[in-house]
Chain A
Amino acid sequence: MAVERLLPSEEAYDLLALTRDICAERLAPRAAADEAAERFPRDVFTLLGQSGLLSLPFAEEYGGGDQPYEVYLQMLEEIAGAWMSIGVGVSVHSLSSYAVSTHGTAQQRKDLLPDMLGGSQLGAYCLSEPQAGSDVSGIRTKAVRDGDAYLVNGVKAWISHGGHADFYLLFARTSDDAKRGLSTFHVPADLAGLSFGPPEKKMGLTASSTTQVIFEDVRVPADRLLGAEGDGMRVALSALDSGRLGIAACAVGLGQAALDVAVRYAGERQQFGQPIGEFQGLQFLLADMAAAVESARATYLHAARLRDAGRAFSRAASIAKLVATDAAMKVTTDAVQVLGGYGYTREFPVERYMREAKVTQIFEGTNQIQRMVIARDLLRRVTAEA
């Protein structure tokens, strides 16, 4: 069922209509097959780029769409509802482009952004390491200045689009300073010394590759440093606030997709001489699923509108990520319940949705970390007021 949306402009309605068309005709029909075959759909990113859908939240002068975040996120929600791996991929790609857009020099933006936003340069975001997950201060990958380049050595872990991306947005240590030890680099995929681990064998998002990215004496030209040396933590954290909203929107799309399948099935499946949707026990399940999806949508939209208004939105983004991904987990699990034994098989998409939902509670800051961010923000305010 098409979601009813309140959008800020006529062009936003047209954009969402375009997104729905592309989703229905080009994404949804092949999602299940590509997920089963673990095939990375690079061509889909090209199509989205050509249609301008990778450019929405960026400035017009670099090929962006100058659209508010509330529009970008609702587009992302539609994409994730049709194919979660693509939704997550668009979010990761946007995150990687975002750092160039906010911290690059005018020259870097002019050189790099148009191809990123047009879909010919696909991005990956290299923050996590095997020993540094929730705690990014544990990052060990080193970048040492050597003439006109930085010599990079280390291993990044869990990198979405690993082996398929055209550029890697890298966070590496340039000093041991606790606060200003990290720096950010734009690393083209074809530099010598860059290699990839085998794809992780994952529970879900199987069409999206996740690999280690291994740096062995990779010479990254010094003009690929984004922002100043030592700005890395700031770049990473500001990108993460926006990235969390992206994952929240994807989770809502996934939950909506599961709800839609469940509602349709409940109207068709007969037991005890009537559609199972006639049983109050099942109606309450469906109603709770809808309430979870719609309140999660309202939550991420509120955070997005704060961001669009130029207000602080970090806590709202963490709340949205927490609420939306927990909702997605619950709703997809319940969708399997509504479909009974059929839901547990690969004949129907809901078991896949359930597997895909799980990771949303883990990446882009686990939901424990989100609670930490929320509580810290609450308590900081109390201390500030005291």
Chain B
Amino acid sequence: MNIVVCVKYVPDATGDRRFNDADHTVDRVGVDGLLSELDEYAVEEALKIVEASDGSEGEVTVLTVGPEQAADAIRKSLQMGAHKGVHVLDDAIHGSDAAATSLLLAEAIKKVGAESAWDLVICGMASTDGSMSVVPAMLAERLGVAQVTFGSEISVTGDMVSIRRDGDTATETVEASTPLVLSVTDQSNEPRYPSFKGIMAAKKKPVETWSLADLGVPAEQVGLAAAWTKVDASAARPPREAGTIVTDEGDGAARLVEFLAGQKFI
């Protein structure tokens, strides 16, 4: 089974995340970034599926749309065990919205498919920066294949994929046949760490870099100017104010209740 995994390079959530003052896009240049943690589950799921299929003919291709440093997200995925990488990189892509991102991903996936057919596209449940959870659905639409999102347990038999989806009120199990776009949750597996061997092996794995021209996508269809919606203003959230410390002098419980009631929590 050949699988394409879409991975996003995002600003490190433990660091200082900022918006760019000029165009209110996420500042991706001056900040430390990494492979979106939620996309590690997608990579792990793909590796598990390929490893489980006997003969192990299958390959995992990781695909990212992003700036120069997004190559780090590909490298990390290759270190975990993916076989090859594709990086869609072009200055004109800056500021792209989800619609444009999904267009680029779809065209890149078609190009991957022209070389060797894919069976599954696996995405994370959401990016950890934009977190709209819409790209997988848009992607399926553009590729004209079925989509099953938020899979928490995946099993593959032949070309049938069985997916458990945990909702708020019920759990359902959906079956779909390949080709298919799937997104997986953080309950689906436990992503592996790269190993030293994986780090060394990754250095020799092929990574292709494709521009808009390579994909045949006109520059007018992507980037900030083409976005359907536009962010007009952004402001950093004010720093959190110091909390209230209640020292228990026999009346602790009463004062807690008073505080919670005052905040309309109870």
Residues of A bordering B, CB below 8 Å: 10-11, 14-15, 18, 21-22, 47, 50-53, 55-56, 65
Q: Is the CB of A50 within 8 A of B79?
A: no
**Secondary structure dominating the interface of B:** helix
Cα distance A133–B195 in the bound complex, in angstroms? 38
B196 within 8 A of A: yes
CB distance from B136 to the nearest CB of A (A): 26
CB < 8 Å neighbour of A65 from B75, B193, B196: B196
Q: Is the CB of B193 within 8 A of A55?
A: no
CB < 8 Å neighbour of B199 from A18, A21, A50: A18
CB distance from A102 to the nearest CB of B (A): 21
Cα distance A51–B75 in the bound complex, in angstroms? 16
Q: Is the CB of B197 within 8 A of A52?
A: yes
Q: Is the CB of B193 within 8 A of A22?
A: yes
- In the bound complex, residues from chain B placing their C-beta under 8 Å from that of A21 are 193
B200 within 8 A of A: yes
- In the bound complex, residues from chain A placing their C-beta under 8 Å from that of B203 are 10-11
Q: Can you identify 11 A-B contacts, CB atoms within 8 angstroms?
A: A11-B203, A14-B194, A15-B196, A18-B194, A50-B195, A51-B193, A51-B194, A51-B196, A52-B195, A53-B196, A56-B196
**Known A51-B193, A52-B196; further 9 A-B contacts with Cβ < 8 A:** A11-B203, A14-B194, A15-B199, A18-B79, A18-B193, A50-B195, A51-B195, A51-B196, A53-B196
Cα distance A80–B194 in the bound complex, in angstroms? 20
Interface residues as binary, B78-108 with A (CB distance below 8 Å gives 1, 0 otherwise) = 0100000000000000000000000000000
CB distance from A50 to the nearest CB of B (A): 7
- Of the listed residues B79, B194, B203, the one surrounded by the most CB atoms of chain A closer than 10 A to its CB is B194
- In the bound complex, residues from chain A placing their C-beta under 8 Å from that of B200 are 11, 65
CB distance from B55 to the nearest CB of A (A): 25
CB distance from A8 to the nearest CB of B (A): 14
CB distance from B202 to the nearest CB of A (A): 8
CB distance from B197 to the nearest CB of A (A): 6
Cα distance A22–B193 in the bound complex, in angstroms? 8
Interface size on B, residues (CB 8 A): 10
Cα distance A50–B195 in the bound complex, in angstroms? 7
Q: Is the CB of A11 within 8 A of B193?
A: no
Enumerate the 6 nearest inter-chain pairs by beta-carbon distance, A residue then B residue, closest first.
A52-B196, A52-B195, A14-B199, A51-B195, A65-B196, A51-B193
- In the bound complex, residues from chain B placing their C-beta under 8 Å from that of A22 are 193
- In the bound complex, residues from chain A placing their C-beta under 8 Å from that of B75 are 14
CB distance from A28 to the nearest CB of B (A): 13
Interface residues as binary, B197-223 with A (CB distance below 8 Å gives 1, 0 otherwise) = 101100100000000000000000000
Cα distance A10–B75 in the bound complex, in angstroms? 12
- In the bound complex, residues from chain B placing their C-beta under 8 Å from that of A52 are 195-197, 199
CB distance from B70 to the nearest CB of A (A): 16
Cα distance A85–B196 in the bound complex, in angstroms? 22
User: Which residue on chain A has the smallest CB distance to residue B202?
Assistant: A14
Q: Is the CB of A14 within 8 A of B79?
A: yes
- In the bound complex, residues from chain A placing their C-beta under 8 Å from that of B196 are 15, 18, 51-53, 55-56, 65
Cα distance A53–B195 in the bound complex, in angstroms? 8
Cα distance A52–B198 in the bound complex, in angstroms? 9
Cα distance A14–B199 in the bound complex, in angstroms? 7
CB distance from A113 to the nearest CB of B (A): 15
- Of the listed residues B75, B193, B196, B203, the one surrounded by the most CB atoms of chain A closer than 10 A to its CB is B196
Q: Is the CB of A11 within 8 A of B195?
A: no
CB distance from B194 to the nearest CB of A (A): 6
Cα distance A210–B79 in the bound complex, in angstroms? 37
Which residues B55-92 have CB closer than 8 A to chain A? 75, 79
Cα distance A179–B96 in the bound complex, in angstroms? 74
Cα distance A276–B194 in the bound complex, in angstroms? 41
CB distance from A245 to the nearest CB of B (A): 20
Cα distance A65–B199 in the bound complex, in angstroms? 11
CB distance from B192 to the nearest CB of A (A): 9
User: Which residue on chain A has the smallest CB distance to residue B79?
Assistant: A14
- Of the listed residues A18, A50, A65, the one surrounded by the most CB atoms of chain B closer than 10 A to its CB is A18
User: Which residue on chain B has the smallest CB distance to residue A26?
Assistant: B193
- In the bound complex, residues from chain A placing their C-beta under 8 Å from that of B199 are 11, 14-15, 18, 52
User: Which residue on chain A has the smallest CB distance to residue B198?
Assistant: A52
User: Which residue on chain A has the smallest CB distance to residue B196?
Assistant: A52
Which residues B155-209 have CB closer than 8 A to chain A? 193-197, 199-200, 203
CB distance from A194 to the nearest CB of B (A): 32
- In the bound complex, residues from chain B placing their C-beta under 8 Å from that of A14 are 75, 79, 194, 199
User: Which residue on chain B has the smallest CB distance to residue A75?
Assistant: B196
CB distance from B32 to the nearest CB of A (A): 9
Cα distance A14–B197 in the bound complex, in angstroms? 12
